[in-house]
Copies of this chain bind each other. A is one copy, B any other.
Amino acid sequence: MRTIFWDDGVVMVDQTLLPERFEILVCKTVHQLAEAIKRLAVRGAPALEAAGAYGIALAAYERDFNDLVEIKKHIQDAARLLASTRPTAVNLFVGIERALKAAMSGDSIEEVRKLALQEAERIAEEDVERNKKLGEYGAELIEDGSTIMTYCNAGRLATVDWGTALGVVRSAVSQGKRVKVIACETRPLNQGSRLTCWELIQDGIDVTLITDSMAGIVMQKSMVDCVIVGADRIVRDAVFNKIGTYTVAVLAKHHGIPFYVAAPRATFDWNRSMKEVTIEERSRDELIYCGNRLLAPENVRVYNPAFDPTPLDLVSAIITEYGIIREPYSENVPKILEL
């Protein structure tokens, strides 16, 4: 089953409930979808690309309109609302923009609706295809018998299907390679323990869970052959990904372990640099509470950025659906991705 799809509304696996419950969430309005994105019921840069595009389709279908001007205005408002939900993953904006542009070219209410949904479906389809291509390229980097460390969830649940970092793992496994995964739990929201472990176990892929703080010792003990992570945005001097990615990259550098980033072309925002990207700061409650447990004094000051930038000099290669990109990135990224 796909992580996100259209069925008379935007349908998704509610990722906030895994691994406790597998529940399907149906968003019938753009407001419902915006809420779902904000509370991370759907997350992961490529999945957000599809979510943004489906959101535009939802705007077109969620109510009746009197004329073309009204539906187009409504869709433009929806685009702004959806774009305001999360600031870091560039794919969200790509998905919104593509579907918006398609919708705007329509000459009737029905055509606007059709074009928006068609483009959203195309984006979802393309995501699955590009991840499989990316996975095939990436699998060339994986030797039989390797142990791969990953961080956060750049898997099926972060995409429409197959995954980016975990897409590489899946492609290597499909090629018959024996591969083990070490998953960092990824505090504070535990996407690693909740989502990566869950989806790898579903697929019968060997996975061992560690805390983020154990990334050092497993590298010191030579238990890791390479690291593969996803990305929320790649600018010309850094990779923005889930908070903690930078820490793992520094550790990999220190231990001489290859550090790979797996991400589709749409994740690149090559005209921007590290300093120009807003890093989302999330609620302090994420560090203070865990279910019915109080993990810290309720009045403590908290710093809770959702992402961090990893300078490109810590990245051994970027795996894309156009091929594997190595240094010098300033030259090879525009060349290979035709940017």
Contact = CB atoms under 8 A, between A and B. Distances in A.
Contact of A293 (B198, B290, B294, B299): B290
Given A254-B253, A291-B290, A291-B291, A216 B246 contact: yes
Interface in A225-269: 243-244, 246-247, 249-251, 253-254
A207 interface: yes
A193 interface: yes
A220 B198 contact: no
Interface string A272-314: 0000000000000001101111111101111111001100000
A123 interface: no
A1 interface: no
On chain A, which size bracket covers the interface?
35 or more
A106 interface: no
A187 interface: yes
Interface string A203-217: 000111111111111
Contact of A296 (B194, B246, B288): B194
A208 to B, nearest CB: 5
Contacts of A323: none
A255 to B, nearest CB: 8
A186 interface: yes
Please state the number of chain copies in the assembly.
Answer: 2
Nearest to A294: B20
A295 B216 CA distance: 21
Contact of A301 (B207, B292, B296, B305): B207
A291 B294 CA distance: 9
Interface in A49-92: none
A137 B130 CA distance: 59
A334 interface: no
A190 interface: yes
A300 B246 contact: no
B254 A250 contact: yes
Nearest to A206: B301
A201 interface: yes
Contacts of A213: 184, 186-187, 212, 243-244, 247
A209 B300 contact: yes
A119 interface: no
A20 B301 CA distance: 17
A217 B243 contact: yes
15 contacts: A185-B187, A190-B295, A207-B301, A208-B303, A209-B300, A209-B302, A210-B287, A210-B303, A211-B243, A214-B303, A214-B308, A215-B247, A216-B244, A250-B251, A250-B254
Given A253-B254, A292-B292, 4 more contacts: A184-B213, A185-B287, A187-B212, A209-B303
